[in-house]
Amino acid sequence: MEKRDLIVRCIRTFNDFPTKGIPFKDIFPILKNPQALTAVIDLFEEYVRNTHPQVDLIVGLDARGFLFGPLLAQRLGIGFAPIRKKGKLPGPTISVSYSLEYAKAEAEMQEDAVSAGQKVLIIDDLLATGGTLQAAYELVKQQQAEVLACLVVVELKYLNGADKLKTTTVFSLVQY
């Protein structure tokens, strides 16, 4: 079976979560299936090695970007840095506010998480309206680092989230 097909088979939809009208794409079954999780990391690794072999750092978004980001970083032999919800990181931080499809939020990263001039990939589980990835992009750019691309397992194309990230590439494994 093709790797993408295995991944698609593991994604399920919960309607009206977390609020009415939202069709939530649940990626957690991927984590229960070792072959599916390996397929996700294999496909991300193949993309990065073929497209961005000069990457220095993976930045992952709270919380599901933490599931895939460290695994990919380890495969690539590079570091991983988290972006978290406001108030969850110790020490000096920088932050940015953003909108989700169903709420407002604030994201932050430690001031020393990314160095000026580093080539960075941002990873998360899902791209919907683009608010979270755009916030991560802005945080990385504030550190004078270069965002090479944003990687997601699932992209909800009908919400046009990639439009908010026109200045960078979005690579998604599965699109709806």
> Residues with catalytic annotation?
64, 101
* Pair 149, 170: CB distance under 8 Å: yes
Alpha-carbon gap, residue 27 to 111, rounded angstroms: 30
Alpha-carbon gap, residue 72 to 110, rounded angstroms: 21
Per-position DSSP letters for 92-128, written without gaps between them: SEEEEEEE-SS-EEEEEEETTSS-TT-EEEEEEEEES
- Give the closest residue to 35 by CA, choosing from 59, 72, 73, 4: 4
User: C-alpha 14: how far from its chain's center?
Assistant: 20
